[in-house]
């Protein structure tokens, strides 16, 4: 149970839910390469935030933070309640009658052995999110997560 919560993809999802990527200062190169959406960076940001809360305010503050912002997103088996943002986004868009969802490749960069994909998700004619990943599936999930957050607000 603990391993599924503290693994890099889960920590990155928590960082995405808290929109931590918008608060980090990046160098120009990392910014241009989409560093704000990289799972490793997002996971590190989340770990750093929890560590900073602990050092500044102690263990009880960490528990309170996790109880307020993280535990509500974990099911009784220790898994994330929202695992597949593509499916969740599809359901939300269909329920709201927003039109079809399309995932469009915006850019492919890097050599064939180290490819990176930039994908945007459109609902109807409107772009709602962009994702970057080493696979198309990863980039689509990130784009769907961003769109899901926008629609949840």
Mention every residue, 6+ apart, whose C-beta is less than 8 A from residue 61: 53, 54
Condensed to tens digits (0 to 9), the pLDDT of residues 69-102 reads: 788 777 666 566 556 788 888 888 888 899 999 9
Strand-pair partners of 80: 74
Mention every residue, 6+ apart, whose C-beta is less than 8 A from residue 67: none
CA distance 42 to 100: 29
Mean local confidence (pLDDT), 32-54: 90
Tokens of 148: 């899901």
Domains of the chain, by residue range, sit at 2-73, 85-152
What's the fold here for domain 2-73?
Answer: Ribonuclease iii, N-terminal Endonuclease Domain; Chain A (1.10.1520)
pTM as predicted: 0.54
Q: Residue 1: is its pLDDT beyond 50?
A: no
Q: Residue 53: is its pLDDT beyond 50?
A: yes
- CATH architecture group of domain 85-152: 2-Layer Sandwich (3.30)
Condensed to tens digits (0 to 9), the pLDDT of residues 133-152 reads: 888 988 998 899 889 888 87
Asked whether 149 and 90 are in contact (CB, 8 A), the reply is no
- Residue owning tokens 């980039």: 139
């Amino acid at each position: 149970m603990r391993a599924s919560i503290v693994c890099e993809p889960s920590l990155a999802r928590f960082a995405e839910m808290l929109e931590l990527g918008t608060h980090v200062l990046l160098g120009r190169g990392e910014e241009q390469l989409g560093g704000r959406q990289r799972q490793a960076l997002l996971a590190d940001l989340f770990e750093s935030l929890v560590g900073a809360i602990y050092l500044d305010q102690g263990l009880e503050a960490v528990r309170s933070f996790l109880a307020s912002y993280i535990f509500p997103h974990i099911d009784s088996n220790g898994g994330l309640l929202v695992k597949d943002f593509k499916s969740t986004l599809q359901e939300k868009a269909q329920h709201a009658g927003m039109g079809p969802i399309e995932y469009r490749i915006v850019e492919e960069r890097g050599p064939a052995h180290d490819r990176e994909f930039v994908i945007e998700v459109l609902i109807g004619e409107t772009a709602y999110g962009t994702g970057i990943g080493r696979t198309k599936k990863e980039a689509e999930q990130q784009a769907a997560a961003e769109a899901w957050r926008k629609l949840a607000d």
